[in-house]
Amino acid sequence: MSSPYRAIFAVPGTKGFSAAGFLGRMPLSMMGIGVVTMISQLTGRYGLAGALSATLAMSAAVLGPLISRLVDRHGQRRVLRPATLVALAAVTGLLICAQQRLPDWTLFVFAAGVGSVPSVGSMIRARWAEIYRGSPRELHTAYAWESIVDEVCFIFGPIISIGLSTAWFPEAGPLLAAGFLLVGVVWLTSQRATEPVPHPRVEHARGSALRSRGLQVLVATFVAVGAIFGSIDVVTVAFAEEQGHKASASLVLAVYALGSCLAGAVFGLLHFKGRTSTRWLVGMCAMAVSMIPLQLAGSLPFLAVALFVAGLAIAPTMVSTMALVEQHVPRTELTEGMTWTSTGLAVGVALGSSAAGWVVDASGAEAGYVVPVVAGALAAAVAFLGYRRLSGPVPEKGRPEDDPHRRTDDDERVA
Superfamily, domain 12-192+208-413: MFS general substrate transporter like domains (1.20.1250.20)
CB 294 within 8 A of CB 307: yes
- State the pLDDT at residue 407: 41
- State the pLDDT at residue 99: 84
- State the pLDDT at residue 338: 82
The count of other CB atoms within 10 Å of the CB of residue 333 is 28
**How far is the C-alpha of 162 from the C-alpha of 255, rounded, in Å?**
15
Select from 363, 412, 46, 408 the least CA-distant residue to 234.
46
Burial of 205 (0-12, 13-18, 19+ CB in 10 A): exposed
- State the pLDDT at residue 201: 59
**How far is the C-alpha of 147 from the C-alpha of 151, rounded, in Å?**
6
For 404-410, the CB contacts below 8 A with 24+ separation are 405/133, 405/134, 406/326, 406/327, 406/331, 407/136, 407/327, 408/327, 409/275, 409/276, 409/277, 409/327
**How far is the C-alpha of 192 from the C-alpha of 200, rounded, in Å?**
18
CB 219 within 8 A of CB 210: yes
Contacts of 178 (CB under 8 A, 6+ apart): 27, 87, 88, 91, 92
pTM for the predicted model, two decimal places: 0.75
**How far is the C-alpha of 258 from the C-alpha of 298, rounded, in Å?**
21
Select from 378, 385, 264, 250 the least CA-distant residue to 313.
264
Provide φ and ψ at 122, rounded to 5°. -65, -35
Residues in the chain: 415
CA 183 to chain centre: 19
Identify each DSSP E strand in 116-246 by its residue range: none
SS3 11: coil
The DSSP annotation for 154-178 comes to: HHHHHHHHHHHHHHT-TTHHHHHHH
**How far is the C-alpha of 110 from the C-alpha of 53, rounded, in Å?**
11
The DSSP annotation for 63-83 comes to: HHHHHHHHHHHH-HHHHHHHH
- If the chain, 415 residues long, is cut into consecutive pieces of 10 residues, what is the mean pLDDT of each piece? 76 91 87 82 78 81 84 86 92 89 88 86 88 82 86 79 82 89 93 82 58 86 91 86 79 85 83 80 93 85 91 89 83 79 80 84 84 94 88 53 41 37
Q: In the chain, where are the structural domains located? A: 12-192+208-413
Contacts of 250 (CB under 8 A, 6+ apart): 158, 159, 160, 161, 162, 163
